[in-house]
Amino acid sequence: MPDLAVTAVGADRPGIVATVTRVLHDRGGNLEDSAMTILGGHFAIVLLVETEDDPAALRAALEEATTDLGLTISVSPASGIRSRVEPTHLLSVYGADRPGIVAGVTGAIAELGANITDLETQVIGTEDPVYAMVIEVVAADEPQLADRLSEVCAGLGVDHTLRTIEAETY
Amino acid sequence: MSVKRVVTYPARVLKGLAGPVGSIGARERQLATDLVDTMYDSPGCIGLAAPQLGVASRAFCLDVSVMKKPPPGNHGLVVLFDPELVLAEGSEIKREGCMSVPDYTCDVRRATSVVVRGTTPDDQVRVIEAEGFEARAFQHELDHLDGLLVLDRVASARTDVFRRKRYAERGRHLK
């Protein structure tokens, strides 16, 4: 069966996941992979569902079921590569919160053809907030990536550590 | 008592490589006193490294015996200059706090047993075999001497970094 990519975002409240996944299940869909979390005060769902459903019909059904929840929903075809890419490196970046940290660091990663498999951020502290980001990367050329990241992070005034994932276990 | 202020990130001294101490003199013994007094004065604190007092020297103290449930077989108060990690074995993820990254705790993977060698304030070479939580404390303090914080050790910014849920009451862990 083909996959559809579904996204749903809205102000956080109880019942969002239950309502969205109930619609998918009732229409014969099978949940493949998903990321669902609170971002600020919003709840965000991104998922792949294996289904014979028509994207427009599924979207209409989801919108009808979630009218009270006020979600912004998208449904689009997502056929293609299924294999999970294993990251080779973990990159921690942190520093005084300022605009441009993510764009600067990920720009350097993209420039070198390295691939990001996961990126998570958190602002820690309220008085002098520190922006913390951990990125999983698939990188073929570690020395080049290490050098470029040192330059970019120095320019942004943030601290960073690049570790191989194997090195995570003693 | 010589309680000093603990510096917090982004203070640069926390991110640099701390310098070797070499021979032990009056200044080094004063640093040891500052570290120990500040550690015992800070609620819930079981270890402190010189960079956390703004001093870029390879020195730390730790004492896990002050914990509410002291780990069995621990070495009590340890103060070491120019410490080295001789051996590290095993692997375990547990939650750690750091006075220099206040209000947050992090899940960090560390070795479960270590051998550490260093020089005591009496200028004696000391070799310590530590396990479990004490081994973790040694690795946390050793990291400080290399400019590494718990934020350099987490595997995820969202799932391994936590707002601290409660603080030790002031004085609870004091000797």
Contacts for B86 with CB less than 8 Å, ≥ 6 apart: B114, B115, B116, B117, B127
Greatest CA separation for chain B = 45
Q: Looking at residue A146, what DSSP letter applies? A: H
Give catalytic status of residue B141 as yes or no: yes
Interface test with chain B among A92, A123, A137, A165, by most B beta carbons within 10 Å: A92
Residues of A with CB under 8 A from a CB of B: 37, 90, 92, 94-96, 118, 120-122, 124-125, 128, 130, 132-134, 159, 161, 168-170
What residue spans in chain A does CATH classification 3.30.70.260 cover? 3-77, 89-168
Q: Are B139 and B87 in contact (CB under 8 A)?
A: no
B92 in contact with A, Cβ within 8 Å: no
Whether the pLDDT of residue A156 is over 50: the answer is yes
For residue range B76-96, what is the model confidence (pLDDT) as tens digits? 999 999 999 999 999 999 999
For residue range B112-148, what is the model confidence (pLDDT) as tens digits? 999 999 999 999 999 999 999 999 999 999 999 999 9
Cα distance between residue A152 and residue A154, in whole Å: 5
ipTM of the complex: 0.76
Q: What is the residue-wise DSSP string for B45-56?
A: --EEEGGGGT--
For residue range B40-52, what is the model confidence (pLDDT) as tens digits? 999 999 999 999 9
Cα distance between residue B135 and residue B113, in whole Å: 5
B146 in contact with A, Cβ within 8 Å: no
Yes or no: is domain A89-168 CATH 3.30.70.260?
Answer: yes
For residue range A103-114, what is the model confidence (pLDDT) as tens digits? 999 999 999 999
The CATH architecture annotation of domain A3-77 reads: 2-Layer Sandwich (3.30)
Cα B33 to Cα A47, A165, B49: the distances in Å are 56, 39, 12
For residue range B17-34, what is the model confidence (pLDDT) as tens digits? 999 999 999 999 999 999
Please list the residues that pair with A80 across neighbouring strands: none
Question: What H or E segment, with its residue span, contains residue A19?
Answer: helix A16-26
Whether the pLDDT of residue B171 is over 50: the answer is no
Chains A and B: how many Cβ contacts under 8 Å? 61
- Taking residues A112-118, report their average pLDDT: 94
Read off the pLDDT band of A68 (50, 70, 90). very high
Task: Give φ, ψ of B12 to 5 degrees.
Answer: -65, -30
Please, is B73 exposed, middle or buried when counting C-beta atoms within 10 Å of its C-beta (0-12, 13-18, 19+)? Answer: exposed
Distance from the A14 Cα atom to the nearest Cα atom in chain B, whole angstroms: 21
Read off the pLDDT band of A82 (50, 70, 90). low
| Chain B residue whose CA is closest to A95 | B10
User: To the nearest whole number, what is the mean pLDDT of chain A?
Assistant: 92
Q: Are B161 and B149 in contact (CB under 8 A)?
A: no
Whether the pLDDT of residue A166 is over 70: the answer is no
Q: Crossing angle, helix A16-26 and helix A55-65, to 10 degrees?
A: 140
- pLDDT for A61 equals 97
Yes or no: is domain B12-163 CATH 3.90.45.10?
Answer: yes
